[in-house]
Amino acid sequence: MASRCTSYAGFCRRLLPSHPCLSSNPTRTHRPAIYGTTHHENARHKHTSRCARHHKRSFSSAPFYGEPAPPSSRYNQNTSSHIPPLSPLQRITTLIHSSITALNDPTRADAVAAVGEVTGSYALANMRNQMQNDAVGKRILQERPVVDEQIAKRAFELLNRHNQQIGNTSDATSNNPITFAAAYATFLQTHNFDPEERSPIRFIPNPELAYVMTRYRQCHDYFHVLTGLPPTVLGELALKWLELMQTGLPLAALSATGGSLRLDEKEREILWNVYFPWAVRVGREMRSGGLMCVYYEEEMETDLEVLRGRIGVEPAPFVDGV
């Protein structure tokens, strides 16, 4: 049996040959992704000319989530309705095997994404309903904005403007509040992230729910900016707890619990004594769906602290060395 099922794709082709999204060969990635949000670390270096600083941390600096598989022609916003639904057997089998694969090989972002999609239907429906009951969320569902290169380009333009304003300020002690866009561009620049490279949706046939999942994935970096959490194992786990409180996605729960096994004793102490209480408190104080019902693309020139206050996001506690 082991010789016949030596790969995730091979397993799916043999057991579940009827579903087209289970037939492509996955691309191995290099970024740990045990139940994490998929993202591309080895991004194209388009905006890194000013990135010369490296952060030193005494705790785990390996990012928690992995790179996505290459974009698939099987899915885009116009064709998602043609993705056939998984049968109950396919769904259960995909969940079991994807979970085992992700635990055994943290770089398998395709398996991580599969777990999130086959377990998230109920939570995604609730997230959609919350957005439909919110004026801004409803408009997001109708207009379906995406986080792409144009968003990043605009963010970097605003970062340049911010830097010029600081440079032109004669009083070095003057307060120069940073905009959400400038903070977002700084995050992308510091970590060499490309906002366009994301895992395609493969197992969500409903186009509206597929977009909600896509939006959740694409807004993940926005959440990092709002909370001030770095894309490290510890930072990702803290953010996953907040996302769990806000979305109810099983993937967030699996990430928050299973990922803690990768921490050392001191990091686990920080997670449970510092970040976990913060995430639960902030998540409960925020209105339901608050993170998803923000048209971030229209908030680029908003001061970061003003946006945080409006949404109800309190920055994560600062821990020396993290």
Contacts of 142 (CB under 8 A, 6+ apart): none
Helices (H), the chain: 8-15, 88-104, 109-119, 121-132, 135-143, 149-168, 180-191, 207-218, 220-227, 233-247, 250-258, 265-270, 276-285, 304-311
264 known member of a binding site:
no
Q: In the chain, what is the greatest distance between 2 CA atoms, to the nearest angstrom?
A: 72
Residue 236 annotated as part of some ligand binding site: yes
221 is in an annotated binding site: yes
- Cα(97)–Cα(77) distance, integer angstroms: 27
Contacts (Cβ under 8 Å, ≥6 apart) of 309 = none
Of 222, 159, 226, the closest CA to residue 193 belongs to 222
Was 220 annotated as part of a binding site?
yes
Q: Find residue 179's DSSP bridge partners.
A: 303
φ, ψ dihedrals at 97, nearest 5°: -70, -35
Sign of CA dihedral 145, 146, 149, 152: positive
3-state DSSP of 181-219: HHHHHHHHHHHCCCCCCCCCCCCCCCHHHHHHHHHHHHC
- Tell me the sheet residues that pair with 303: 179
What is the amino acid identity at position 6? Answer: T
Structure tokens at 40: 């591309």
Write out the binding residues for Zn(2+): 220-221, 224, 236
Write out the binding residues: 220-221, 224, 236
